[in-house]
Amino acid sequence: MGKADFHMHTSLNDGTATVREVLDYVRDRTDLDVVAITDHDRLTGSYEALELANEYDFDVVAGSEVTTLHGHLLALFIEKPIPMWRPLDWTIGRIHEQGGLAIAVHPFSMLTRSIGFRSFDGIMKDTSPEIYFDAVETFNPSVAGRTCAAKIHRLNKGRFHLPEVGCSDSHHLEGIGTGYTSFPGSTAEDMKKAIMASQTQAFGEYWDFMTHRRIAQLKFRRIGRNWARVGRLAVRAVVGQ
């Protein structure tokens, strides 16, 4: 069985590690077969990862976590960026136009921008052939994912019956692979086929308080470095006038 983690972020967005650092960590510290860089509303990190992919022995998938009007939506196997702040059904349609997968991540969570029950149920009832979720993230190790896990498990088992996936939603290196999807095969194409055939399983370990504290520290340090850089540029601009 293959293992995939296709929900993670880099320093090109709100993560704390570079694309190269992420790929090196996957190679050196995990047994993942497939990964995707899914920075918010951009494919810059995915493009960089794909350019480096031939240096590694695992598959890399292009993806993005798209901000819709109704919450975050994971877009995998896409080639062009999906515009943000559009209706959920419109966004799903644009993903499927590219042959991609539309996956609901951390649904129903109150701690981050997530698809709520009414919007989720609306998509499930939509009769348009291109408007549907390909899967739902039922394991997300962050506190945002943990708080909604029981609800999505209950609703998916009893009502929605969507393929289930697990991902780390990692913004730091140590989190990569702490949530993952198990699937028959080992390649990105195997994973895509398994999701479409509902042959996946979600696994992982929830982060503890110290892990969340570590993430916060890393983010604050990155923010501090960014503001320091902005300050230096401003001083140079003034001095240079």
The per-residue pLDDT for range 29-65, each reduced to its tens digit, is 999 999 999 999 999 999 999 999 999 999 999 999 9
Contacts of residue 75, Cβ cutoff 8 Å, sequence gap at least 6: 38, 63, 64, 65, 66, 82, 91, 95, 100, 101, 102, 103
The answer on pLDDT for 9 being more than 50 is yes
What is the per-residue pLDDT across 165-200, written as a single tens digit (0 to 9) for each?
A: 999 999 999 999 999 999 999 999 999 999 999 999
> pTM of the prediction?
0.88
Give 144 or 51, the one with higher predicted confidence.
51
Burial (CB < 10 A; 0-12, 13-18, 19+), residue 201, is: middle
Type of residue found at 121: D
pLDDT at 144: 87
pLDDT at 235: 54
Confidence of residue 8 (pLDDT cuts 50, 70, 90): very high
Domains identified in the chain and CATH numbers = 2-207 (3.20.20.140)
What is the per-residue pLDDT across 192-215, written as a single tens digit (0 to 9) for each?
A: 999 999 999 999 999 776 766 766
Query: Which 8-state DSSP code applies to residue 110?
Result: S
What is the per-residue pLDDT across 82-94, written as a single tens digit (0 to 9) for each?
A: 999 999 999 999 9
pLDDT at 221: 64
The answer on pLDDT for 230 being more than 50 is no
The helix or strand, by DSSP H or E, that contains position 19, with its residue range, turns out to be helix 19-29
What is the per-residue pLDDT across 92-115, written as a single tens digit (0 to 9) for each?
A: 999 999 999 999 999 999 989 999
